[in-house]
Amino acid sequence: MARCSGGGSAALWSGLVLCGVALAGTVAMAPGEGSGTADPGERYEECDPATAARVADPAAASRLPVGSELTPHQAAEYERRLQDALSSMHGQRSAVADSREVPVVVHVVSASDGRGRVSDHRIREQIHVLNQAYGGGFAGQGADTGFRFRLREITRTVDDTWFDDFTAHRDEIRADLHRGGAETLNLYTTDLAGDLLGYSTFPQDQRDRPEQDGVVISYRSLPGGSRRGFDLGHTATHEIGHWLGLFHTFQNGCARPGDYVDDTPYEREAAAGCPRGRDSCRERRGTDPVTNFMNYSHDGCMTHFTQGQADRMVQHWTAFRAGKASARR
């Protein structure tokens, strides 16, 4: 889901809302709002893939336009599509212990004056951070998800128009640059206006719009970047979690079913910075998952995925990505 530092303009965010399907999770639910269960007869029309968004300052979410959050009904619809896909596979599910190597194509979109021109070294550092994070290497209690990332290719495009307003041209850019099939992670680095740090599509939408599948991050958020508080590479960690099917830890607030993961405690709203001992859903068991990669905390606060999140990523990988599409190029 997209990740922002500060406010972000309504003009920017309104461009990310697609045919009634909103950016996922940018606004926390109000207490008691909704049950998180969709009407079984309700379906959402096919359209561009929903884009998942993240803000570093949860207070900024209130300034985003109405409709820019993943509602309980929309989250439930994604869950229905997951369960339908798994049911049709007749139990062909992989174990988390099995390693999954994800080929990564990094597309560097930069300006003619050199802005955004990240080095191969920084890109390799980002891949290293991903392998540590998804291997459970940042915390003793972190799950090894079984996912590993292998840099397959780096493409470089110098285009001032694309760099200065990537989001306005993102469909064109991704259609032009995208490589590989459903199992290939296309990671775009560029400048993102309004302090936006990144955004991702969901695996459920890959089949209908394969050329739009992928993750976009601010080049300043790579390891060693200039985005204070978000310069360790966990923007990509967080967004790839969405690319593999995870919601925010605070999805649905304190209401069931939360983020659809049993071992992440309920959380009323996103965390900012790195608060200690925060417990926003006192009627639920456990303190807030502040250090989870799927929260809004600072990079230095993030340490782990849970085993339940690992299981859920494997389910999405098996249902929507592993061997599901042939390469376009």
The pLDDT of residue 196: 80
Residue with tokens 């990740």: 3
The structure tokens listed for 170 are 């993102």
User: With pLDDT > 90 as the criterion, what percentage of the chain qualifies?
Assistant: 65
Residue 64: pLDDT over 50: no
The pLDDT of residue 197: 86
Q: Which residues contact 306 (CB under 8 A, 6 or more apart)?
A: 143, 261, 263, 264, 289, 292
* Catalytic choice (77, 79, 239, 267): 239
The pLDDT of residue 92: 59
CA 160 remoteness from chain centre? 26
The pLDDT of residue 314: 96
CA distances 239 to 1, 53, 235, 248, Å, are 5, 8, 6, 10
Amino acid identity for residue 266 in this structure: Y
pLDDT (mean) for 24-51: 38
The pLDDT of residue 139: 80
CA 70 remoteness from chain centre? 12
Amino acid identity for residue 157 in this structure: T
pLDDT tens digit sequence for 94-131: 555 456 999 999 999 999 999 999 999 999 999 999 99
Cβ atoms of 24 and 247 closer than 8 Å: yes
Cβ atoms of 125 and 223 closer than 8 Å: yes
pLDDT tens digit sequence for 204-218: 999 999 999 999 999
Confidence of residue 285 (pLDDT cuts 50, 70, 90): confident
Confidence of residue 2 (pLDDT cuts 50, 70, 90): low
- Residue of 326 and 297 predicted with greater confidence: 297
The pLDDT of residue 3: 54
Q: Which of 27-31, 275-279, 298-302 has the lowest mean pLDDT?
A: 27-31
The structure tokens listed for 323 are 């061997």
Which 3-state string (H, E, C) describes the chain? CEEECCCCCHHHHHCCCECCECCECCCCCCCCCCCCCCCCCCCCCCCCCCEEEEECCHHHHHHCCCCCCCCHHHHHHHHHHHHHHHHHCCCCCCCCCCCEEEEEEEEEEECCCCCCCCCHHHHHHHHHHHHHHHCCCCCCCCCCCCEEEEEEEEEEEECHHHHHCCHHHHHHHHHHHCCCCCCCEEEEEECCHHHEEEEEECHHHCCCCHHHCCEEEEHHHCCCCCCCCCCCCHHHHHHHHHHCCCCCCCCCCCCCCCCCCCCCCCCCCCCCCCCCCCCCCCCCCCCCCCCECCCCCCHHHCCECCHHHHHHHHHHHHHHHCCCCCCCC
Closest by CA to 74, choosing from 131, 136, 153, 17, is 17
Entry pTM: 0.83
The pLDDT of residue 98: 59
Clarify whether 283 is annotated catalytic.
no
Residue 195: pLDDT over 80: no
